[in-house]
């Protein structure tokens, strides 16, 4: 069973939760830019959290399904159309063989995740199914999803989808997606990672090189608004704003970097390292984005989104991480209850 790609989107790749424990071999974890939305999309179709999904950036592809399939689209606010009719998002949808799904453009946010019951069945490479574009491996041969490609699904996807939809309905009322033969439920999962403020507030802790910057630069980091540059990508979000200057020229020995590291190249414009970041870097590190805010930052659309940084303590960062984990776990538990099982 496969999905046929009729038209490509801006950037669609197969992703999971990434590859852990390989950075010493220069292989970053990678994986979904917005891991929270990826997990929720999987939960909406009864998958375990590490099943591969289709990550869609800014504008999605047009897809044709060969068989019946239970799907869910979750993350940024997109406006998909199924056989020409609006398709509900953030809820399970049982579509029929031959259905055509056009994802369309993001109305809010940047990334959405298309999950299919049983997962996307690409080979495991170095412990994960994620596409790592800089290295050219994982997913569909290390490439973006393009027109003419086929996306493999589980052999039993039709049976899995029917059984899971029966469980999630459990005699309750369903809704037809007008004119498509597809059916869905009336409840939905909230979008947890879209910006709650304008500009988006992103919390940071001081980086290892924060003291090397001028006082005015450290103040500007949290006082100014920063626009996410159009040339931002899965490796890093470039930020446009005032130049951040060092107290004096300084050579930095390359050191390990991680998801959320805020580096400042010689031009003075900061870059926040994202999912496909390099493993080491030689630019001074003024700050680190706290893990709880990385999913929201991922949803900041390049070219239009504006962010503002807020400096917090390590204790506050740890509390925010625990709070996000608790809220995600509570929502996942409710979704597991809808399916009547323990999938996550």
Each residue of 270-319: pLDDT tens digit?
999 999 999 988 899 999 999 999 999 999 999 999 999 999 999 999 99
Mean pLDDT confidence for 109-117: 97
- Kindly report the average pLDDT of the chain as a whole number: 93
As a dihedral over the C-alpha atoms of residue 64, residue 68, residue 70, residue 72, rounded to 10 degrees, the angle is: 20
DSSP assignment of 239-307 equals: EESS---BSS------EE--TTEEE--TTS--EEE-TT--SEE-S-EEEEE-GGGHHHHHTS-TTT-EE
Domain identity same for 270 and 211: yes
Domain identity same for 158 and 219: no
d(C-alpha 308, C-alpha 298), whole Å:
14
Q: With cut-offs at 50, 70 and 90, classify the pLDDT of residue 341.
A: low
Domain membership of residue 236 as a residue range: 200-312
Domain identity same for 176 and 225: no
The pTM for the full model equals 0.94
Could you report the per-residue pLDDT of 145-197, keeping only the tens digit for each?
Answer: 999 999 999 989 999 999 999 888 876 678 888 788 899 998 899 999 998 88
DSSP letter, residue 137: B
Contact present, 157 and 69 (Cβ < 8 Å): yes
In angstroms, the first-to-last Cα distance of the chain is: 24
Asked whether residue 137 is domain-assigned, the answer is: yes
CATH code: domain of residue 294:
2.40.100.10
Domain identity same for 225 and 299: yes
Asked whether residue 228 is domain-assigned, the answer is: yes
| 30-39, 165-174, 327-336: least confident range | 165-174
Task: Please give the tally of structural domains in the chain.
Answer: 2
Give the 3-state secondary structure of residue 318.
helix
DSSP letter, residue 53: E
């Amino acid at each position: 069973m496969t999905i046929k790609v009729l038209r490509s989107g801006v950037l669609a790749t197969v992703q999971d939760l990434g590859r852990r424990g390989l950075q010493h071999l220069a292989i970053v974890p990678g994986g979904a830019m917005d891991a929270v939305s990826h997990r929720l999309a999987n939960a909406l179709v009864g998958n375990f959290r590490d099943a591969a999904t289709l990550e869609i950036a800014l504008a999605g592809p047009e897809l044709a399904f060969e068989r019946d399939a239970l799907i869910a689209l979750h993350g940024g606010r997109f406006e998909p159309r199924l056989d020409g009719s609006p398709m509900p998002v953030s809820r399970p949808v049982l579509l029929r063989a031959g259905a055509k799904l056009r994802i369309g453009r993001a109305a809010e946010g940047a990334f959405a995740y298309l999950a299919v019951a049983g997962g996307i069945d690409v080979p495991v490479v170095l412990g994960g199914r994620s596409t790592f574009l800089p290295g050219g491996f994982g997913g569909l041969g290390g490439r973006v999803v393009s027109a003419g490609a086929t996306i493999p699904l589980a052999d039993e996807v039709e049976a899995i989808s029917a059984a899971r939809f029966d469980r999630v309905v459990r005699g309750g009322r369903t809704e037809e997606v007008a004119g498509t033969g597809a059916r869905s439920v009336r409840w939905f999962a909230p979008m947890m990672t879209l910006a709650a403020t304008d500009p988006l507030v992103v919390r940071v802790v001081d980086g290892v090189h924060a003291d090397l910057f001028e006082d005015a630069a450290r103040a500007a980091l949290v006082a100014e608004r920063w626009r996410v540059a159009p040339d931002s990508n899965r490796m890093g979000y470039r930020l446009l704003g005032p130049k951040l200057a060092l107290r004096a020229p300084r050579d930095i020995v390359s050191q390990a970097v991680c998801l959320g590291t805020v580096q400042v190249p010689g031009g003075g414009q900061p870059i926040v390292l994202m999912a496909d970041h390099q493993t080491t870097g030689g630019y001074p590190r003024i700050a680190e984005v706290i893990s709880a805010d990385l999913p929201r930052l991922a949803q900041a659309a390049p070219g239009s989104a504006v962010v503002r940084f807020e400096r917090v303590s390590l204790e506050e960062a740890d509390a925010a991480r625990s709070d996000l984990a608790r809220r995600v776990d509570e929502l996942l538990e409710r979704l597991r209850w809808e399916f009547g099982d323990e999938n996550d």
